[in-house]
Amino acid sequence: MNNRAILLGTMTSSSKAIAACALLIVVCIGALSFWSEVRNEDDREWVTHTLLVVEKLQAIRIDITQSETGQRGYLLTGREEYLEPYQAGLDLVRRDMQVLRDMTSDNPREQKAILRLGPLIAARLAELSGGIEARKESGLLAGVEAVAYGNTGGKWMGRIGAEIGEMSETERRLLNSRLDAATASTRKMKVVIVCGNALAILILLVKGFVIQRETGRRNLAEQKLKHANDRLERSTAELSETNIELESFAYSVAHDLRAPLRHIAGFSNVLAEDYGPQLDGEGRRCLGKLADGAQKMGRLVDDLLSLSKVGRQELSLGAVLLDSLLRQAVEELAPECSGREIQWRIGDLFSAECDPGLMKQVFVNLMSNAIKYTGKRKHAVIEVGQTMLNGERVVFVRDNGAGFEMQYVGKLFGVFQRLHKAGDFEGTGVGLAIVQRIIRKHGGRIWAEAELDRGATFFFTLGTPEISPASEPNFTIKQEVMHV
């Protein structure tokens, strides 16, 4: 457990509350700062908008002046080139008036002013258009008269200028009020942020004192934890030694049981052959039970010896093609498949760093298990292949046999554990425990997925093999030997 975990584990409720308050204040300050920036951005947009409105009002006056200049030039000279600035001014006036209406759509007062301004501009433009028509129809004298008359049109421009000036003044007052509101809001926000930061610093100082006090408690807890870890390490070492001794004991016991079992089986056969006819039916039945029990006990002893040997055996590692081991395993299991209809689906495997003898036993045990539990299928299907799981190569052995309920999967790899009745399927319940032991010695893992009466699939991976297999604690052996 690292120091951070210890600190979090020993933190008191008051310390957590202080930390939560400090964090809350910092979050609030951040939110207020963000909101203030958003408000400032809105204020800047409104200022820009007001300035654009004022600019557009001035542009309208300039547009009208441009049209007047073009009209006078045409009236005095009759040259068509003066009509271009006149027409351009008319187009700009219409466009700028429409833009001005859109920009002030949220201001009823300005909209009313535009309604007053529009007819004035229309009257002035109509006057200019009338002078041009008179020049075209009546010649230079009419143009000079129109210019002289047009000079009296200053009254229109005066009224137009007055309306534009009033609108500009309205926009300026609106701009000043918005600037004042923005300044006041910014001032208040600065005060709030400064006070919030000061409060957060104060809380953090208090938190520092609390942490210092809790650090002392943490150091004391670390010392106790260190002593507990030392005791745990000693207990683990003792347990490992005990398991190694028990494994050796199991091997010795199983090995020593073989001779008495052979004697029992041998003398039972002799008794059956020599004295069987002299025994009645019950005697022959009891003698048969004795022989069957000796044979079953012999198989259990052999499996227990195999399990013990796997734990004691050192790995002989090398680069091995798993496809080759798989073919050898299929050939070895051919006698078990005699007289049955089994469809083999063998996929391509890969090369791995492993012990070839032990890995062959893995394939033999898993496929033998599949053959056994598909025994009641008229058409058995056994599939072996590989897949990818989270970037890791996984080998699988799948069958369409009896399967099992997943709630019992935890018992699957235990020694002498069976998920089916002995009368339904023969076996000692050690084969999968041997497979698990071999896979673990190769640094891999094994698991299974199944559904009752719909088959089972066993998956396994290969990782980094163990350097010292004999040091592996084995609690399964310990439990089973004590049971025996």
Q: Quick one: which of 331, 357, 335 has its CA closest to 346?
A: 331
Q: What is the pLDDT of residue 483?
A: 31
User: Whole-number mean pLDDT of the chain?
Assistant: 75
The pLDDT, as a whole number, for residue 50 is 80
| pTM metric for this prediction | 0.42
d(C-alpha 339, C-alpha 417), whole Å: 29
Low-confidence ranges of the chain (pLDDT < 70): 1-15, 22, 37, 140-155, 207, 237-259, 261-263, 265, 267, 272, 274-276, 284, 287, 289, 291-313, 415-429, 466-484
In this structure, is the dihedral angle defined by the CA atoms of residues 274, 279, 281 and 283, taken in order, positive or negative?
Answer: negative
- The answer to whether 460 touches 434, Cβ cutoff 8 Å, is no
Q: Which three-class secondary structure string do you get for the chain?
A: CCHHHHHHHHCCHHHHHHHHHHHHHHHHHHHHHHHHHHHHHHHHHHHHHHHHHHHHHHHHHHHHHHHHHHHHHHHHHCCHHHHHHHHHHHHHHHHHHHHHHHHCCCCHHHHHHHHHHHHHHHHHHHHHHHHHHHHHHHCHHHHHHHHHHHHHHHHHHHHHHHHHHHHHHHHHHHHHHHHHHHHHHHHHHHHHHHHHHHHHHHHHHHHHHHHHHHHHHHHHHHHHHHHHHHHHHHHHHHHHHHHHHHHHHHHHHHHHHHHHHHHHHHHHHHHHHHHHHHCCHHHHHHHHHHHHHHHHHHHHHHHHHHHHHHHHCCCCCEEEEHHHHHHHHHHHCHHHHCCCCEEEEECCCCEEEECHHHHHHHHHHHHHHHHHHCCCCCCEEEEEEEEEECCEEEEEEEECCCCCCHHHHHHCCCCCCCCCCCCCCCCCCCHHHHHHHHHHHCCCCEEEEECCCCCEEEEECCCCCCCCHHHCCCHHHHHHHHHC
Tell me what pLDDT residue 328 has: 92
* Domain map (residue ranges) of the chain: 3-213, 316-483
User: pLDDT digit string (tens) for 205-258?
Assistant: 776 777 777 787 778 888 888 878 878 877 776 665 555 555 555 555 555 566
Give the Cα separation of 395 and 349 in Å (integer): 8
pLDDT at 474: 42
State which amino acid sits at residue 263. Answer: H
User: What is the pLDDT, as a whole number, of residue 103?
Assistant: 83
Q: Which pLDDT score, from 0 to 100, does residue 29 have?
A: 75
Q: For 93-117, what is each residue's pLDDT tens digit?
A: 888 888 888 888 888 888 888 888 8
- Domain at 316-483: CATH architecture: 2-Layer Sandwich (3.30)
